[in-house]
Structure 1
Amino acid sequence: MKIPAAAANGIPEHLKRAATLSSGKGEPFKEALDNTPRGDMPDLLSISNEGRELAAGDVQHKPAVYWGSAEIRSALDKSLQDQPENVRDGVSSIIQNHFYPADAAALSQDERDALLDAGMAQARFVADNYIMDPGKKDLFLSTMHQIAALSKTGTVDTATGGMKYASLPSRPIGAPEDYIKPIDLMERYDPTSFEKYNNATDVTEKLSILIKFAKTSGKNQEWRTEYLEEAKALKQKLVETDTGSRFKDADTSSISAFVSDMFARIRPTDAKSLEANLQSFAALFGYSRP
């Protein structure tokens, strides 16, 4: 399953980001975001090119929050429960800077892999130093692996110049395993109706299109079967995807040891973006290079 190419700012459609959740709207606000069709949901954060070009450490930007599927978001929330803000920001920075960098389409596959591997090393640092509960630690690392594996499916869309990524079906927490959002099924098997749905501005018209499609899909149960089989195959592929092997033995005993070891491993590659991202990550944990 493929999602549309990323928007101009490089953020893939299934990764909706928000700078903060302190809107006062709470869970209903999050649920509304979950149920908003991808085509209708605006990006909630924009970072200028000038801002990205600032030297690491000149300005400490607030990392964007990861908006993945409901299941992934729930797993991250559970594994990071009671963690301080800087730890949560560190995790968001890993996803933003290493798994889904804004300039991913301009990078080579080796550069994207190096960023991803360094991000997984940072995830292991967080897990080893801040997540003491074994169950939560395993959940955190497996979730970060899944996010990284999804990012590794990225390919450059030659038509738009943006990135395309595979995406897992999103279902509400507690919904059965075979639940499929009607709008996702429509996007896959009736793109004409999906386009009409996205372009419709009247709620009644949207509902009418959705009901009409539901009647059609009910007569095509093979759509559901095929969709679920492909989703199952993708999940298995993600489990088997190699992530983080390049820096898997990095020293995570302390932030200073981690930074020193990572710089030693990075320097031979002459990867300036890796060094800049590492400095930004370490700053969230109170470290500054001597």
Structure 2
Amino acid sequence: MRTAAVRVPAQPQAVDVDRERGVAAPGASAVAAATGAAEPPAVGAEVRGEHTHSEAPIPRPRAEGARPVVQRASVRGQILDALRTALVAGELAPGEVYSAPVLGERFGVSATPVREAMQQLALEGAVEVVPNRGFRVVERGTRELAELAEIRALIEVPVMLRLARTVPAARWSELRPLADATVRAASLGCRATYAESDRVFHRAVLALAGNSQLVRIADDLHRRAQWPLVGGPATRGRADLVADAAEHTALLEALVAQDLTVVQSLVREHFAGA
């Protein structure tokens, strides 16, 4: 079975394995409260992913002694972020099965926080449980992507049109640094880096509506739209990302001008192109 490497941003301190097992250490009480160091109760074997005898090891960095480490303050959250990044970057391939113990070895933590993060991804629809093996990355096609684009448009277009009528130009100008950040991220050609800056921009726009539930739902749909397609390219090209980012700047200009026709057109095209 093919197993892709997963990148984790280097952190200043390595995980203390004793803390992971519940051994007392300075600040361990706060760590346990934040991460739930003990094994989750009554977790069935079908979601534990313990059988790894046939699973190929995930490559480690070549430099001697180099190992991705994670701060214990929020292991599960950092692992979840790293797995989401790996999904967007195509490092966790659609259709492939990954076990919690092997991914935990890659991250330098026990299987528990990895399993918990994978269970969250299963709730989000990114992976599915494979009994006694681990988690399979869901295979998505172009139809699902088109459906997500349609739902996002149904939700966000009316909101943005309303905001275009009511939000002062000065407020839109305050979002210009976020739009510029997407352009810089796109120029790097890294899909994962761009995906995060893209979501930050869209969250900031929708936040002006003052509806936190709207922002949460739209962000979830946005994240799902960023997962790679089965049989498709692992990443979008730099030119595609740059063109996508340029639409953010154009959208802000249309919002400042209260040009509702252009706003509607840009938002729909933006979703479809994403």
TM-score scaled by length of structure 1: 0.26
TM-score scaled by length of structure 2: 0.27
Q: RCO (CA 8 Å, sep 6+): is it higher in 1 or 2? A: 1
